[in-house]
Amino acid sequence: MTVTVGTDTAKTRKTLTVGDQSVDYYSIDAATAAGLGDFSRLPAALKVVLENMLRFEDGKTVTTDDIKAFATWAENGGKNPIEIAYRPARVLMQDFTGVPAVVDLAAMRDGIVALGGDAQQINPLNPVDLVIDHSVMIDEFGNPRAFQMNVDREYERNMERYQFLKWGQKAFNNFRVVPPGTGICHQVNLEYLAQTVWTDTDQNGVTVAYPDTLVGTDSHTTMVNGLAVLGWGVGGIEAEAAMLGQPVSMLIPEVVGFKLTGEMTEGTTATDLVLKVVEMLRAKGVVSKFVEFYGPGLDNLPLADRATIGNMAPEYGATCGYFPIDNETLKYLRLTGRDEDRIALVEAYAKENGFWRGADYEPVYTDTLELDMSTVVPAISGPKRPQDHINLDVAATAFGEYVKGVRAGKDASVNSEIRWEGEGGQPEPAQIPGDEGHHARGYVNNPNGENYQIHDGSIVIASITSCTNTSNPYVMIGAGLVARKARALGLTRKPWVKTSLAPGSQVVSEYLEAAGLQEDLDALDFHLVGYGCTTCIGNSGPLEPEISKAINDYDVIGVSVLSGNRNFEGRISPDVRANYLASPPLVVAYALVGDMNVDITKDSLGKDKDGNDVYLKDIWPTQKEIADLVERTVTREAFMSKYADVFKGDEKWQSVEVVDSETYNWPPQSTYVQNPPYFQGMAKDPGSIASVKDAKILALLGDMVTTDHISPAGSFKESSPAGQYLTDRQVPVREFNSYGSRRGNHEVMMRGTFANIRIKNEMLDGVEGGYTKGPDGQQTSIFDAAMAYQEGGKPLVVIAGEQYGAGSSRDWAAKGTALLGVKAVIAENFERIHRSNLVGFGVVPFEFTGDGNRKTLNLTGEETVTIDGLSEVKPQQMCTAQITYADGTTKDIQIKCRIDTAIEIEYVEHGGVLHYVLRNLAKVA
């Protein structure tokens, strides 16, 4: 494709020759020579943004003052939050967020035709890659046929979606689809798509080199920052605007420097390191900031470990966690099969343009913190937040305290009489350390004759999953070696543990098989179940019916242990309350013991063939054992072979048939893809931002309400509004699939908004799930209440606490909120992506100030809220909200409008960023 660059009034464009290559680039040193400022001590992450300003400087959208602001940033000690227009080089999607994005593009084609424009005006201007990775579900596990059976079910469930995506691939320019069964989007990006330095021809046909940058419709897009590619997650709404050439409006961010020293010690893993980093940065507070890692410790940190740290930036709250280009970057590019000419260009460009991390790299940061990696110890995080770091040697004790908290005030005496019908007797009650009556127990007689007890702490899911860790050969080889040693001693998984292995790419299977370790993992029932997100996204699949019934009948606190990045309430499985993040080797170890109450650092994991106790130290591999196998089996040839036909897909994908057409023929009977109402009947001109008058409170929510709470991705029940909708259309429960897979149907997603089974609306006492009070004051579903209020012409607001919208970058958390009729969300503070998504869909976010919050204001949900003067509102303006209580008394408070920039004001006036883009395109039709 052709990249359009700016006018270069600052004369910063230079030519770089590397071997036989000759490319132009935009020189930061030349900008200094031109008198625009001293940029020498900017962090590399911010130099990437500065280069973007140089390349697109046109005197209008990007001005020389915008460029000079970066020098002022350094002079001000890392602060100068002015608004800039940033243009990423490309966009990355996965199918859960990608399907609704393509739905929006298809609807925009209809919309622009209705406004008198041409359907071909709606095309991505920047390259877009969509990787299908969120659809595979673990229906089958623990046997050699699991992979094929899960793939077959994936196609059965998702054929409508795949036909739609294949249509999009044919209909839109610059849009590629990586088929199912290939890998997870972030790992495919890291191992294949990303180039670190990108090249394209400009409007004059000259090749231009520039930093590889992207935005993605998944929050873990940040993983690729480990490869010095600046990228972060945005909502699908913002990504669609970026595709269509709309710059990302942002403030020049603060950059926190995280200095790493020392090196990891024997027995610790990259997972232990990243969980410590998450804890430290959450405590520091880095929301909406860049984090850049530097220091001598990087010399001891493989790129796979860097990618693990970059991946979990959403968990520590940062926009991204960036690692500058150095020799390790080049080494990884070479290992993964990148072209040698590209690798040479990366090195020369980085050194020439000031992006290289040398021994003297010590830029200016807004703030810093430091970690000696030799102090990192084995750890897990949980039971419901990634930042809840727990040293492994106190994990069992911490779980006991968690259970006591859950059981406080409850009768957990339903222990000894619980049994199942079936052959064989009731097993003896397990001895639970520190039980003291706090644990619930149930007994299971499985049809296969295995009788066992399920109690609080029974680990029912152990899953090696997620790009966070399966991208890292050191922890994957480590898991395989734990399995090998355990197998040799005769240990097996506990029968109530659902085990699974879902690598992030086919390369992982290649080196596990080359090392002979897949056979050892299979022996412990860690069979391959698919290449995709699986358990980490909530696609853990059903537990065995007997286990599920025991958990739910007797309120047992089941546990999952997964090598993922998210463990929010209700995310992993509807049957599992406590979820722990752990390294892949620890996932294997926990599957052997099957009980969170066991201290695996000192207690026996089981008996060997001779009846002797086996301990964790007996099966834990040394760093040398791991490194030797990685060196021998993880090869350049494996990467080149597996990615040779990455867009081709298997026979199933090739057989998916689609119609060739400019606009989509929306099948009326489809329950997966429906034409959304956003652009239907849209006026040619925007309006103004309407004041909020006497709005009812739809939900009164607490702290750390995540986008999983607002718009869950996992399964749902027949009794839910979404389930009733599908049942009314003769969809059997077995075919419900998940919320995530049905994001192309607004009718399902509206019904799924605020429908997480663990969400707590403080308007109701002790009730979990998506409920509220309707206009009649009676408890009802949030969807039904919202529809009743809409019918009565009543606007709605949502009230919340701190860190509202943490977690995944899902646009449906904002879309669903808007479609329910919510005009404003008032929270103590917002996570970055969700705030942007709300604005992008026309919902105004506000923050409480010193005047109070939901608790100090004694809000019950019976109040009404009025916010006047929004037609004249300015970015981050203080506004007056009048709260009218049930008894008729009123209170005025000051709240801060979190529409942060001038362009965002325009977005909300238009009803959203897509409406803004559509109207502007229609004007030039």
Average pLDDT, 10 consecutive residues per value, the chain (925 residues): 52 93 96 96 98 94 96 96 94 90 92 89 93 89 94 90 93 94 94 96 92 94 97 87 88 97 96 95 94 97 96 94 98 97 97 96 97 97 92 96 82 33 38 48 64 90 90 95 98 96 94 97 96 84 90 92 87 92 97 96 95 97 96 96 92 90 92 90 89 97 94 90 96 90 94 94 94 96 97 97 87 94 97 90 95 93 96 95 97 96 92 90 72
Contact present, 243 and 214 (Cβ < 8 Å): no
Instruction: Select from 51, 86, 121 the last residue of a domain.
Output: 86
What is the domain range of residue 147?
A: 90-375
**Rg of the chain over CA atoms, in angstroms?**
27
The pLDDT assigned to 309 comes to 97
**Nearest Cα to 53, choosing from 67, 39, 34?**
67
Residue 382 lies in a domain: no
Rounded to whole angstroms, the Cα distance separating 454 from 551 reads 7
Number of domains in the chain: 4
Contact present, 212 and 338 (Cβ < 8 Å): no
Do 494 and 356 reside in the same domain of the chain? no
Residue 109 structure tokens: 């084609």
E strands, 399-489, where?
Answer: 441-445, 451-455, 459-464
**Nearest Cα to 591, choosing from 460, 403, 417?**
460
The angle formed by the CA atoms of residues 300, 507 and 480, to the nearest 5 degrees, is 70
Place of tokens 């913002």: 238
Which H/E stretch holds residue 790? helix 782-791
Contact present, 93 and 216 (Cβ < 8 Å): yes
Rounded to whole angstroms, the Cα distance separating 639 from 636 reads 5
The angle formed by the CA atoms of residues 309, 53 and 66, to the nearest 5 degrees, is 110
**Sheet harboring 379-381: ordered strands across?**
389-391, 379-381, 576-581, 558-562, 459-464, 498-501
Rounded to whole angstroms, the Cα distance separating 347 from 181 reads 33
Rounded to whole angstroms, the Cα distance separating 788 from 810 reads 26
The pLDDT assigned to 536 comes to 84
Do 236 and 204 reside in the same domain of the chain? yes
Rounded to whole angstroms, the Cα distance separating 146 from 916 reads 47
Do 807 and 913 reside in the same domain of the chain? yes
Rounded to whole angstroms, the Cα distance separating 609 from 796 reads 64
Provide the CA 714 distance to its chain's centre, in angstroms. Answer: 14
Do 413 and 477 reside in the same domain of the chain? yes
Residue 518 contacts by C-beta under 8 Å, 6 or more apart in sequence? 480, 509, 512, 528
Do 704 and 726 reside in the same domain of the chain? yes
Instruction: Select from 54, 86, 118 the last residue of a domain.
Output: 86
The pLDDT assigned to 413 comes to 34
Residue 644 lies in a domain: no
Do 793 and 882 reside in the same domain of the chain? yes
Do 577 and 435 reside in the same domain of the chain? yes
The pLDDT assigned to 435 comes to 46
User: How many other C-beta atoms lie within 10 A of the C-beta of residue 665?
Assistant: 9
Omega before residue 427 within 30° of 0, cis: no
The pLDDT assigned to 815 comes to 94
Residue 649 lies in a domain: no
Do 357 and 231 reside in the same domain of the chain? yes
Residue 432 structure tokens: 């639970």
249 — phi, psi (to 5°)? -80, 125
Place of tokens 């249509």: 167
Residue 888 lies in a domain: yes
Rounded to whole angstroms, the Cα distance separating 550 from 189 reads 41
Rounded to whole angstroms, the Cα distance separating 565 from 583 reads 10
Do 626 and 713 reside in the same domain of the chain? no
Give the residue ranges of DSSP H helices in 621-720.
623-633, 636-642, 651-654, 707-710
Do 317 and 432 reside in the same domain of the chain? no
Which H/E stretch holds residue 317? none
Instruction: List the CATH number of the domain containing 408.
Output: 3.30.499.10
Instruction: Select from 326, 360, 375 the last residue of a domain.
Output: 375
Residue 123 buriedness (CB in 10 A; 0-12 / 13-18 / 19+)? middle
Provide the CA 54 distance to its chain's centre, in angstroms. Answer: 31
Q: Could you tell me the pTM of the whole model? A: 0.85
Residue 446 structure tokens: 């499985």
Do 697 and 566 reside in the same domain of the chain? no
The pLDDT assigned to 424 comes to 36
Do 163 and 255 reside in the same domain of the chain? yes
> What do you get for the CA distance between the two ends of the chain, in Å?
22
Contact present, 542 and 460 (Cβ < 8 Å): no
Residue 60 buriedness (CB in 10 A; 0-12 / 13-18 / 19+)? exposed
Residue 907 lies in a domain: yes
Residue 842 lies in a domain: yes
Residue 128 lies in a domain: yes
Alpha carbon distances (Å) from 435 to 396, 432, 550, 556: 12, 5, 19, 14
The pLDDT assigned to 835 comes to 94
Residue 307 lies in a domain: yes
Instruction: List the CATH number of the domain containing 893.
Output: 3.20.19.10
Contact present, 291 and 321 (Cβ < 8 Å): yes
